[in-house]
Amino acid sequence: MGKHFSLTAADQHKLGAYRADPKGAPKGGIVVIQEIFGVNQHIRAVCDRFAGEGYVAVAPALFDRTQPNFECGYTPPEIEAARKFIAKPDWDAMLRDTDAAIKEIKSVGPIAIVGFCMGGSIAFLSAARLSGLRAAVSYYGGRIVAFADEIPKCPVQMHFGETDHSISMADVEIIKQKRSDCQIYVYKGAGHGFHCDERGSYNADAAKLAYERTTAFLNKHMSGK
């Protein structure tokens, strides 16, 4: 359904991206932010799914500054190799690349951002630091707790798994206390990556409910109602 193309960030860095367009007139745009596995098959499928909901969806390749065209799957060796990208994350650079994606599709209507894992943290940071967003949705953003004092400029919804071994419930409670202005959901029995149907941690019930909440949230804030 989608196509690969390139974006140019404010510092003139060129990066790859994937774009999926709806069949009819778009009701807005969604920037989809990857996990540490790159703009892989799963992230492209997420874009395609949002296009099916009527949105233009764009996923910028945030690791192109380090390793162009990187993408991988979810085997233990691949997961371990992908961790190198977030050993010392350059949040500012990733936000520049995210901003390039926002600007790329701003003409299609209201814009939102949805991110997963590392991308979940970037979705929150984008809500706080970037302009032009109507809404932000974060799935298991592990570093949000470190930035929770920052105030979002748009409505934010967050999703966490109760049994996520990389994000403690203590951290989620801190986020809840500091960001009472955000919608925060915890899914019983769900672990990290519960939304991804290609991972062993996939939880169909949690993924279904989180997606329903996500689309309802987007429809509400993207319509201006």
Q: Is 221 a catalytic residue?
A: no
> Which among 117, 154, 182, 196 is annotated as catalytic?
117
> Which among 154, 164, 182, 221 is annotated as catalytic?
164
Q: Is 47 a catalytic residue?
A: no
> Which among 192, 195, 196, 221 is annotated as catalytic?
192
Task: Extract the tokens encoding 14.
Answer: 């060129």
68 CB-near residues (< 8 Å, 6+ apart): 16, 61
Q: Is 192 a catalytic residue?
A: yes
Active site positions, annotated: 117, 164, 192
